[in-house]
Amino acid sequence: MGVIAYVLVKTKPGTSAQIVGSRVIRGVKMADSVFGRYDAILVLSANDLDELNKILYEVIEKHPNVEHTETLVAIPRPIKEEVKPPPKEKITPIAAFHCPSCKALNEVSAAFCSFCGFEFKWT
């Protein structure tokens, strides 16, 4: 996954157009002049932080009209994992009843209580 960074650039007066023209530099995806404390903003894309570091310091920081930069590295969005439903299990219902004598649980097909031996009389 690549790294995206926003670089705020303070330039010497009247020279921000030269920085904005740096769109041809490898890794610079977008560059615009801005109003405010900074004169330009660059959007950089790199494979990793080392490559981003090279682009910043070897190309942008060494530019003679750049006075100061502030780099904001974007936090990558988490990749949404596909949620798979649990496998469907065959559910077998079990019918049961309580013994009238001891209240133990017995299967419907039982003739005698499995706990106390009470005989179930089915009519």
pLDDT in tens, 72-116: 999 877 777 788 887 777 776 667 888 999 989 888 888 888 889
Beta-bridge partner residues of 29: none
My answer on whether 69 and 105 are in the same domain is no
| DSSP per-residue string spanning 20-82 | HGGGGSTTEEEEEE-SSS-SEEEEEEESSHHHHHHIIIIIITTSTTEEEEEEEEPPPPPPPPP
pLDDT at residue 92 in the model:
67
110 found inside a domain: yes
Give the range of the structural domain holding residue 109, as residue numbers without chain letter.
94-123
What's 64's domain CATH number? 3.30.70.920
- Asked if the model's pLDDT at residue 59 lies above 80, the reply is no
My answer on whether 113 and 63 are in the same domain is no
My answer on whether 100 and 53 are in the same domain is no
Q: Which residue has the higher pLDDT, 3 or 76?
A: 3
My answer on whether 13 and 52 are in the same domain is yes
